[in-house]
Chain A
Amino acid sequence: MPELTFTPVIGIEIHIRLKTDTKIFCSCSTNPNDPPNTNICPVCMGLPGSLPRLNHTVVEKGMLAGMALNCTVQPRSLFFRKSYFYPDLPKGYQISQCDLPVVADGYIEVHDAEGRLKKIRVNHLHLEEDAAAMHHSASDGRLEGASTSYVDYNRAGMPLGEIVSEPDISSAQEAVEYAMNLQRRVRYAGASDADLDKGMMRFDANVSLKCSDGRWGRKVEVKNMNSFRALERAIEYEIKRQKKILLSGGEVLQETRHWNDAKGVTTASRVKEFYRKFIVEPDLPPLVVGQEWIDKVTAMMPEMPDVKANRYVKDMNIPREVAEVLTDDKNLAAYFEACVSAGANPVRAANWVRTEVLRVLNERGQKIADFTVRPEVLAGLVGRVDDGKLSTTQGKEVFDYMCANGAGLDDAVRALGITEGGIAGNALADIIASVITANPDVLEEIRSGKDKKGKKLKFLQGLVMKETKGQAKPQEVAEAVAEAVK
């Protein structure tokens, strides 16, 4: 009997917080740092008689995110009421576009197990409102069994885009690459900050296994993954779990499971899925997006990271690996491009940014936006090293000094006592003269011809180099000292 093989079939739903100043259906602030229940109004509290009104910036951010995922804007989309009872849902229903979304039919690429590029289709992105945040007193942080629960309605009505992939993903690694690529692209588009730690990006994965004997396990929805690592581990765990069941001839139940990050397992949800039904949201007219609006948003779309990386490779001769590092973060790429605009050689600038700038940022746990050395300053430094005014070692010293002290380029050079272009001519002659004067016995030995192997001469040359702090060219020093002792 041939050994059974299993092919994972995975689809991912990703919620991203769309980046707007105000909520999706009212003008309350979206600032996540404000105290609980301060950014609320009759609309996001679902008070009787209040009505939602669509924030058009949310629509634009949704369109931008969709375009970043190669989706097409739908000329007409609708909002629905998605009903369930829970204290975090002020109206008892969530307003969501469900399956008539504002953008649809896109894809992004990942690498498969063989390293080939593979398209993961994006079914759609739909707009919806977030629910309130709940804090329960129970030890496991759930509502059941908690003696007290607190609701923070600041989060109610925050704008979300839910991005639904087709089940094209075949491994946990592909899933993570999909999610990371998606995060990078929506960040590029300015649609979302997609910060996982701030809950601005959340994952649900649908995992099932296709068995080589024709059996197909039922779809299991896994929730509660809050990091890329958790996404990867949860999917891997779920594949293993389902494989074991299918191998033993058992049946995989269609259910929702929760990822427990501490224990590294998924557990069946204790609460039965809320029974949901949709009706058209009568308080919002259909969302009609005309060509003019699409054109306007298209014009707002920046260059996407893959296109940008290709351009760096093709037009600037930057190695692909470096180009990919530089384009991973939109702001880093912008920093690099500003260096180049300020006149730096692209390949050199790329190396500086990739090695020195990223090193300092990593050491300090900073983001490029917080970096104090301006790109035009770095461009000046790269130029001086290129021109030989500074040695590479000096260049790095100057860079570190600027990072540490917030100094400008010239100030850093001066503070480090560096003479640009090195010490030569009269300055070098003066140093040599003083070194010789200070060592009359050595000079005597050389002149008397005792220094057959040239050791004494090398000794004097070394002293001169030390005095110049390495700023003179060794060849010049050697020649000048040899000349001076004659």
Chain B
Amino acid sequence: MELYELNLWMLIEGLKAGKFTPSEIFTSCKKRIDQCEENIHAFITRTDDNPQPGSNPDGIFSGIPTVLKDNLCTTGIRTTAASKILGNWKPPYDATAWKYLKDAGAVLMGKVNMDEFAMGNTCGNSAFGPTHNPNDISRVPGGSSGGSAAAVSAGYVPFSLGSDTGGSIRQPASFCGVYGLKPTYGMVSRYGLISYGSSLDQIGPFARTIRDLQLVMSVIARHDPMDSSCFREKNPDFTHHEDVSLKGKRVALVKEFQDFTLDAPISKAMNRTCSVLEAEGAVLTEVSLPVVARYAVACYYALAMSEAHTNLERYDGVRLGYTVKDAAGVKEMFEAVRSYGFGSEVKSRIIAGTCLTEPSRCDEYYVAATKVRTLIAQEFARAFGEADFILQPVTPSLPGKIGEVDEDEMKGYETDLYTLPVNLAGLPGLSFFTGYSGELPVGLQLIGPRWSDPALLDAGTVLERQLGSPRIANGGVK
């Protein structure tokens, strides 16, 4: 067995026991990257030729390689958000989540691909070209954190960080066959995460076991004074419990979702997971989320685009990134920079956001959406009075072929129905592995009330025990 195949907790224990050295891990992972990267194209910027050593040799992640979604700021290392507009920008500061990892000794192998400014669910809207699914390189890895999911799935690194605004961790985790956690809004500091929809964005980890997710969360889920939305009285406990049980826990399905069609592998996975839960002593139940089912998608896009278009106003070529030197005037410079720098998906969301908040329409769309959002949060709060967790798909289908999904944009938006409401209500959502359908992994989603992230991961431990852990994808290597 190669070292790159080991999970995070195994690497930590092996290092502690002196079974191997950090440089052996590094070499093994680098070799694996060299082997597959041509097929997968997960990286935007590789730093493994000039590895950035973690700052703490005694840290819990000392010598552990990782990659970051390229919307997380890294001091002195190009950070692009997969956009041309950021040019060759090298941030003068670290995202807090990365700083915490670095302080724990993690080693950065590079910055990985995503949909531009996290807008998309295929990892195909990138100025640096698409990333391929390591399980089947003709298919998309999902998005927007496709690079982060693919890197863990292919065995580049034992864990990675991504961000989730409407499903951008959970959907690629499910497509690539890894675990992905979208934490409660405010659980992980957003400082240094290039914003898409600020009230929806949340940083979270990818890994190949639940226990690994817990290890990462124990490092990154800490209070940060730099993020006003990251506030808590005390940090949660993400200790791994092997003997955890779901006995007596109420796990609900959403009544309104039962009418929607799911592809066969997904509905099969739902049935199988329900049986496993019952066998584990959980009580299956049903909750009703009528507002979510009817309005969540519209509400989400109204809010996300409204926030996004203001978040993207700062890219004007004045202070950083791509700029135009010979424009006739400042207005012309703004136009030239933004016309060239943004991709078409980003432009359409900026236009939509501008229209949605335009003074004459603002009440009808943006303000109305903020009210619907309150109703959605209340609806979930009520549901979690009747259930401990909600089980639902991540997406209704398995990953499509690269290029295929983009054809019907509206369908792309609708497939997000299972993931977006979680962001609207600020809930934690776990994307977990259930098995394979042919070569392709099938994931599902477990949602808990706000701040229930540790309990959600405990439930994930039970599911992993019963459903099995994913294997490392072949990465297009025969």
| A36-70 interface code vs B (CB 8 A; 1 in, 0 out) | 00000010011111111110000000000000000
Q: Chain A: how many interface residues by the 8 Å CB criterion?
A: 33
| B170-206 interface code vs A (CB 8 A; 1 in, 0 out) | 0000000000000000000011111101110000000
By a CB distance below 8 angstroms, the chain A residues around B318 are 87, 151
By a CB distance below 8 angstroms, the chain B residues around A83 are 310, 313
| B219-251 interface code vs A (CB 8 A; 1 in, 0 out) | 000000111110100000000000000000000
B314 vs chain A, min Cβ distance (A): 5
- Looking at B27-35, B91-99, B259-267, B339-347, the stretch in contact with chain A turns out to be B91-99
B316 in contact (CB, < 8 A): yes
Q: Is the CB of B359 within 8 A of A49?
A: no
Contact pick for A46, options B192, B229, B314, CB 8 Å: B314
Q: Is the CB of A143 within 8 A of B191?
A: no
Q: Is the CB of B194 within 8 A of A49?
A: yes
Q: Is the CB of A48 within 8 A of B79?
A: yes
A92 in contact (CB, < 8 A): yes
By a CB distance below 8 angstroms, the chain A residues around B92 are 42, 47
Chain B's closest residue to A145 (CB) is: B329
Q: Is the CB of B192 within 8 A of A282?
A: no
Q: Is the CB of A47 within 8 A of B91?
A: yes
A99 in contact (CB, < 8 A): no
By a CB distance below 8 angstroms, the chain B residues around A279 are 306-307, 310, 357, 366
Q: Is the CB of B198 within 8 A of A92?
A: no
A283 in contact (CB, < 8 A): yes
Grouping DSSP codes into helix (H, G, I), strand (E, B) and loop, the A interface class, with mixed when no group exceeds half, is: loop
| B47-84 interface code vs A (CB 8 A; 1 in, 0 out) | 00000000000000000000000011100000101000
A285 in contact (CB, < 8 A): yes
User: How many contacting A-B pairs (Cβ < 8 A)?
Assistant: 102
A356 in contact (CB, < 8 A): no
B19 in contact (CB, < 8 A): no
Grouping DSSP codes into helix (H, G, I), strand (E, B) and loop, the B interface class, with mixed when no group exceeds half, is: loop
By a CB distance below 8 angstroms, the chain B residues around A149 are 330
By a CB distance below 8 angstroms, the chain A residues around B91 are 42, 47-49
**Contact-residue size bin, chain B (C-beta under 8 Å from the other chain):** 35 or more
Q: Is the CB of B310 within 8 A of A92?
A: yes
Q: Is the CB of B228 within 8 A of A49?
A: no
B295 in contact (CB, < 8 A): no
Chain B's closest residue to A149 (CB) is: B330
B100 in contact (CB, < 8 A): no
Q: How far is the CA of A39 from the CA of B73 in the complex (A)?
A: 21
Contact pick for B198, options A54, A86, A144, A282, CB 8 Å: A282
Chain B's closest residue to A143 (CB) is: B330
Q: Is the CB of A144 within 8 A of B358?
A: no
Interface residues of A in 78-93 (CB under 8 A from B): 81, 83, 85-87, 90-93
B336 in contact (CB, < 8 A): no
Interface residues of B in 432-476 (CB under 8 A from A): none
By a CB distance below 8 angstroms, the chain A residues around B315 are 48, 92
By a CB distance below 8 angstroms, the chain A residues around B229 are 283, 285
Q: Is the CB of A49 within 8 A of B316?
A: no
Q: Is the CB of A90 within 8 A of B226?
A: no
Chain B's closest residue to A283 (CB) is: B198
Query: Of A93, A151, A278, A279, which is in contact with the most chain B CB atoms at under 10 Å from its CB?
Result: A279
Q: Is the CB of A277 within 8 A of B358?
A: yes
Q: Is the CB of B190 within 8 A of A51?
A: yes
A409 vs chain B, min Cβ distance (A): 53
Q: Is the CB of B330 within 8 A of A87?
A: yes
Q: Is the CB of B358 within 8 A of A87?
A: no
Q: Is the CB of A285 within 8 A of B228?
A: yes
B168 vs chain A, min Cβ distance (A): 16
Interface residues of A in 137-155 (CB under 8 A from B): 143-144, 149, 151
By a CB distance below 8 angstroms, the chain A residues around B334 are 85
User: In the complex where A47-B320, A143-B330, A282-B198 touch, is A85 in contact with B313 (Cβ < 8 A)?
Assistant: yes
A235 vs chain B, min Cβ distance (A): 29
User: In the complex where A91-B314, A282-B199 touch, is A54 in contact with B228 (Cβ < 8 A)?
Assistant: yes
A280 in contact (CB, < 8 A): yes
B135 vs chain A, min Cβ distance (A): 31
Q: Is the CB of A48 within 8 A of B194?
A: yes
B119 in contact (CB, < 8 A): no
5 nearest A-B residue pairs (beta carbon)? A92-B313, A282-B199, A282-B198, A49-B192, A48-B194
Can you offer 29 A-B residue contacts whose CB atoms are under 8 A? A42-B91, A46-B314, A47-B73, A47-B93, A48-B73, A48-B81, A48-B194, A48-B314, A49-B72, A49-B73, A50-B192, A51-B190, A53-B225, A83-B310, A85-B313, A85-B334, A90-B319, A91-B314, A92-B313, A92-B314, A92-B316, A277-B354, A277-B358, A279-B357, A280-B370, A282-B198, A282-B307, A283-B195, A285-B229
